[in-house]
């Protein structure tokens, strides 16, 4: 997977995943349980786990908090940075 300019940082990819999770959750909540095959509780649980993971690693930090960010910690480990971006991209596409 090539790094897209829209997600050149882990923080940007993180926020794209949050948006995708929220869209999926809102779509599931907009339908009655009989109409929707999505399990709202499972989506919420996965989103909660994602937020915990991303918060612990500092995936959302940027700007003035750059030194707390996962981008900063992986700045010299491009292989791992690319792997994290791939995983976040896969997660985002799974939510769409």
Which of 7-11, 19-23, 92-96 reaches the highest mean pLDDT? 19-23
Rounded CA separation 63/13 (Å): 15
Would you state the pLDDT for residue 3? 46
Please name the residues in contact with 16: beta carbons below 8 A apart, sequence gap of 6 or more: 6, 7, 88, 92
Q: What are phi and psi of 61, to 5 degrees?
A: -75, 140
Is pLDDT above 50 for 5? no
Q: Dihedral sign, CA of 44, 48, 16, 7? A: negative
* Domain assignments of the chain as residue spans, ordered by start: 9-95
pLDDT digits (tens, 9 = 90+) for 24-80: 999 888 877 777 777 889 999 999 999 999 999 989 888 777 788 999 999 999 999
> What pTM was estimated for this model as a whole?
0.83
Range of lowest pLDDT (17-21, 38-42, 90-94): 38-42
pLDDT band at residue 2 under the 50/70/90 scheme: very low
38, 27 contact by CB (below 8 A):
yes
> Within 13 Å of residue 31, how many CA atoms lie on the same side as its CB?
12
């Amino acid at each position: 997977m090539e790094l897209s300019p829209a997600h050149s940082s882990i923080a940007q990819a993180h926020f794209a995943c949050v948006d995708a999770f929220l869209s999926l959750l809102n779509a599931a909540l907009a339908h009655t349980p009989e109409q929707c095959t999505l399990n709202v509780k499972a989506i919420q649980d996965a989103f909660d786990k994602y937020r915990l993971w991303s918060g612990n690693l500092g995936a959302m930090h940027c700007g003035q908090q750059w030194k707390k960010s996962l981008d900063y910690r992986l700045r010299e480990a491009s292989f791992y940075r690319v792997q994290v971006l791939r995983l976040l991209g896969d997660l985002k596409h799974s939510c769409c």
